[in-house]
Amino acid sequence: MDLSVYMNSVSVDCVVFGFNNGLMKVLLLKMKYTHEWTLPGGFVRKEETVESAATRILKERTGLDNIFLKQFRVFSEPERSKMNPAVSDLVASGANPDLDWFAQRFISIGFYALVDFTKAVPTPDYFSEKAEWRNIDEVDPLIIDHSLILQKALNTLRLQISYQPIGYNLLPDKFTMPELQKLYETILGKKLDRRNFQRRMLSFNILNKLPETKKGGAHKAPFLYEFNLENYKKALENGLGGGW
């Protein structure tokens, strides 16, 4: 790994959210030599922006393009790099002898991404042996301050629901209103009134009701919906207003 192409002291950490079977997921990597878990991340090349670095890293880790990506916070605690006992283990393993590079202070820019769980292909990086999804409420402590980064990303996502739409990047092309409500409840961590939720979502004018219904199940088949992409994009730019 040629470290000379990267900027000193600047890194990117990405919190990749997915949604499947009513559960919120986050993408994690298992490191090769320490067997600890980490968020996907990497260094910033000298000729690219931090946004380009995050997009490149996510493409490498998920195989997806055009990901919804949002910068949410800078993590600059002076001692954050020293919080990582994995550095010495990594160097001792012979994986990379440049201890000075990994032991230096890194300021990390945090991004969160929303991806289609069914289309993502989790792929390990140079330092990891495994990439896999974990339920958001079943994540063990992560290296350095990655547990804090994950929590801050989730808090930011919950705030976003109050003024921007959520769902296009997390749900299939066609979905039911209960499925959309379950996504919101999972992110918020609380139950929402069914009638109020449906009335409010329809008032935003970001959904198209389809003439078809979802087949299967013991109850009356619910109608399917899709996002009105033109109005959805306008809502992302202009906001929705209100809160849950």
Range of the domain at 50: 3-162
Quick one: pLDDT at residue 93? 57
Query: Cα-flanking dihedrals φ and ψ of residue 25, to 5°?
Result: -120, 155
Quick one: pLDDT at residue 214? 83
Same domain, 104 and 179: no
Domain tally, the chain: 2
Same domain, 181 and 104: no
Quick one: pLDDT at residue 240? 83
Same domain, 189 and 148: no
23 DSSP β-pair partners: 20
Same domain, 179 and 147: no
pLDDT tens-digit map of 52-75: 999 999 999 999 988 899 999 999
Q: Where are the alpha helices (DSSP H) in the chain?
A: 50-62, 86-92, 99-103, 146-163, 177-188, 194-203, 229-238
pLDDT tens-digit map of 17-53: 999 988 999 999 999 878 899 999 999 999 999 999 9
pTM of the model: 0.88
35 found inside a domain: yes
Dihedral sign (CA 183, 189, 195, 200): negative
Same domain, 126 and 210: no
Same domain, 110 and 214: no
Q: Say if CB 146 and CB 135 are below 8 A apart.
A: no
Helix (H, G, I), strand (E, B) or coil at 41: strand
With a cut of 50, list the residues of the chain below it in pLDDT: none
d(CA 161, CA 177): 16
Quick one: pLDDT at residue 90? 56
Q: Domain ends where: 162, 190, 217? A: 162
Helix (H, G, I), strand (E, B) or coil at 55: helix
Quick one: pLDDT at residue 103? 74
